[in-house]
Amino acid sequence: MKHTYAFLLCFLIGCAVIPTSTEKNPTLLTGRIIFLGNDYVSDNGITFEGPILSDIEITLLNIATDEPLHFSSGKNGLFHANLEEGKYRIDRLYIKKTGYQNAWAYIYTNPVEKVIEIEKGKVNNVGTIHWTLKNKIHQVIQSDDSLTVKNQFAKQFSKSNWNQEEWKFASWDFEKKKEITYYIKSDNGKDSTRITIPEDMPLNVRKQIETKAKTRMNQIVIQEDTTYFIK
């Protein structure tokens, strides 16, 4: 009965769960996020001007397993999530706001190729994620104020044993994809054109690119009387 009462009380007034490091839970991601809008108004009149700190939903995607991980920012924009080691991509940032007479609207963005590598057994501190929306254009950048985030975490969760664990700054980098380069050369062996595409591009799309390249080269052959080929 006591446990039920405590749960109900937390549900009604809100209780911050203290993140804890255990043998089965040895890895943490933390940081803070700030949204800054600039005169953006939804169709039903709800404004998304910043700064907005709390209740920003973050979705990460585990690149190896393709499994999503969802969590939200709390007070002062601070967020934390238990997760397994590996590479993760920011799949979506999302904000929902409620206006007059329960009208609501949302905004979101899908940052491209932002990848972080999580190290097991550490607090992976990403510093601050700055999400801006200006003239309907989204921008997501990261700043290394990891010490500020660490101090903020320690103040908000002073009883968490994560404060005694090893902390590291985790940079969100552009994903480096393997690529394939096709060389289009003249008959004297000199490079004329290069076409570089991602290695994971679907085969049918690659074939279309090759076909178009060959067609283009055939046209050049007719115009310049030179033989080209794709190697």
Sequence spans of domains, the chain: 25-174, 179-230
Q: What is the pLDDT of residues 78-103, one digit of tens each?
A: 999 999 999 999 899 998 888 777 78
Confidence of residue 162 (pLDDT cuts 50, 70, 90): very high
Two tokens at 158?
Answer: 């002073």
The three-class DSSP label of residue 52 is strand
Q: How much is the pLDDT for 179?
A: 58
Report the C-alpha gap between 75 and 198 in whole angstroms.
Answer: 40
Instruction: Report whether pLDDT(71) > 90.
Output: yes
Q: How much is the pLDDT for 7?
A: 35
Q: What is the pLDDT of residues 12-61, one digit of tens each?
A: 333 457 889 888 889 999 999 999 987 777 777 778 887 999 999 999 99
Q: What is the pLDDT of residues 107-145, one digit of tens each?
A: 888 886 778 999 999 999 999 999 998 888 888 989 888
How deeply is 86 buried, as exposed, middle or buried, from its count of CB atoms within 10 A (0-12, 13-18, 19+)? middle
Strand locations in the chain, DSSP E? 28-38, 57-62, 68-72, 78-82, 86-98, 104-109, 114-118, 123-134, 137-143, 167-169, 173-174, 179-186, 191-198, 228-230
Q: What is the pTM of this model?
A: 0.67
CA diameter of the chain: 89
Q: How much is the pLDDT for 180?
A: 60
Look over the chain and give the mean of its residue pLDDT values, rounded to a whole number.
77
The three-class DSSP label of residue 125 is strand
Q: Is the dihedral of CA 16, 22, 25, 27 positive or negative?
A: positive
Q: How much is the pLDDT for 205?
A: 67
Domain 25-174 in this protein, CATH class: mainly beta
User: Distances from the Cα of 42 to the Cαs of 99, 136, 155, in angstroms?
Assistant: 11, 11, 36
Report the C-alpha gap between 129 and 122 in whole angstroms.
Answer: 20
Q: How much is the pLDDT for 86?
A: 93
